[in-house]
Amino acid sequence: MEKKKYPIGAESYKLYEEIGQGVSASVYRALCVPFNEVVAIKIIDFERDNCDLSNICREAQTLILVDNPNVLNAHCSFVSDHNLWVVMPFMSGGSCLHILKAANPDGFGEVVIATILREVLKGLEYVHHHGHIHRDVKAGNILIDARGAVKLGDFGVSACLFDSGNRQRNRNTFVGTPCWMAPEVMEQLHGYDFKADIWSFGITALELAHGHAPFSKYPPMKVLLMTLQNAPPGLDYERDKKFSKSFKQMVATCLVKDPSKRPSAHKLLKHSFFKQARSNEYIARALLEGLPTLGDRIKALKKKEEDMLAQKKMPDGKMEEISQVEAWDVTDGAKSKGRKKKKKKFAESEGVEVDKEEEIGCWDNSVL
C-alpha cells in the first residue's frame, strides 16, 4: 500500500491550541485541511538561542523514517519562514505522565503497567535494532492515542550508533533527564550504549507504579549523587505488596549498575511479567474513559502550577514535576525562558540556591 503523502506547506494546515511548549519548540493540535484530519505539529524556531541545526535535522529525518507501531513517527516536515514544521499523528490521550497527574497520582495498576511497558519495549527493540539510543525514556515520553495505542515519543535527544556508516559502540555526550539517567551516562567514564535505555526503562516502571520517579522530590544535583552512590531503587517487598514478584524481579534486572548485566529489550520482552499484558483497547478503557480532553487537562495543570507559584507553597522537586506534565510531551518538559525566569524568581524569594540547579537542568535538552 502506497504511503499517504501529507501536504508540504503551512497553508494546508490550520493550527488550534498549543499542547506542548519547550525552549525552542511548540506543539499544536492542528487540522490537515486537504485530508480533514487532526494532527499534531511541532514548530521549531531556528532563530531561538538554544537551537542546534544538526539536532533539528536529525530529529526530523529520524521521525520520518520511523516505521514501527510503537514509535511516534512524522508524516512530513517542511520549512516555513524561519521555522521547521514537523507534522505527526495526534496522540489525544497525551503522555502517561500527563494521565498519572490528571487521574492516577498514586500510579497505575499492574496489568496496565505491563501492557504499557510491553509496547514501550517493542518500540525500544526497534530503536536499538536500527542503531539508535533513545536516551530519554520516561512516562512523559510515552504517548497514548484515542484507541489506546502506546508509542514512544521524542527523538530530540536520540543518538545514532551508526554515524557515516561506522558503528560507534559508545556515546560520550551527557543528555537525558536526571531522575531517569543511567549511572554510566552520569559518570562519563567509559561512554554508554543502548543499555542506558534499559536503566531508564526500569525507572519508568517505578514511575508508573508510584506516580513519580525515584528521587523526584530532590534537586538534580542530589539526584545525580544519589544515583551514583546509593543502591539502585526498586519495588519494596513490604511497601509494594500489591505488586507481583515477577514485576519486582523485572524492575531489578533493569536497574543493575553494571550495564553489561542488564538485558536487551528483546530479551526483556520474554520476561514472565509481560504475560499479563492486555490489548490497546484495554488501555483505552482503563485510562481514557471519563478523562477530560487533552486541552482541558493542559489548562487545569497550567492553572495548578500558576496557583502554586502564586502561593509560594511549591515543595522541592514539584516545579520540575509539574512542568513535565504541562503538555503533550513530544517536546519533553523543558521550560520556556519566561517560565524559567518565573521559577528562578520564586526560588530566590525562598532563599534557594538556583545557579547549580539551573546548570544541571540544562541536561534535559531534548527540546530542539
Would you say 345 is a known binding-site residue? Answer: no
CA-CA-CA-CA torsion sign (77, 78, 82, 85) = negative
Say if residues 334 and 367 touch (Cβ distance below 8 Å).
yes
Q: Is 316 a catalytic residue?
A: no
Say if residues 20 and 339 touch (Cβ distance below 8 Å).
no
Q: How far apart are CA 117 and CA 278, in angstroms?
A: 11
Say if residues 236 and 171 touch (Cβ distance below 8 Å).
no
CA distances from 236 to 57, 119, 140, 239, 330 (A): 43, 25, 24, 5, 31
Which one is catalytic: 45, 49, 81, 136? 136
Q: How far apart are CA 113 and CA 118, in angstroms?
A: 8
Q: How far apart are CA 60 and CA 164, in angstroms?
A: 18
Residues shown for the chain: 368
Active site residues: 136
Annotated binding-site members: 42
Binding-site residues from annotation for ATP: 42
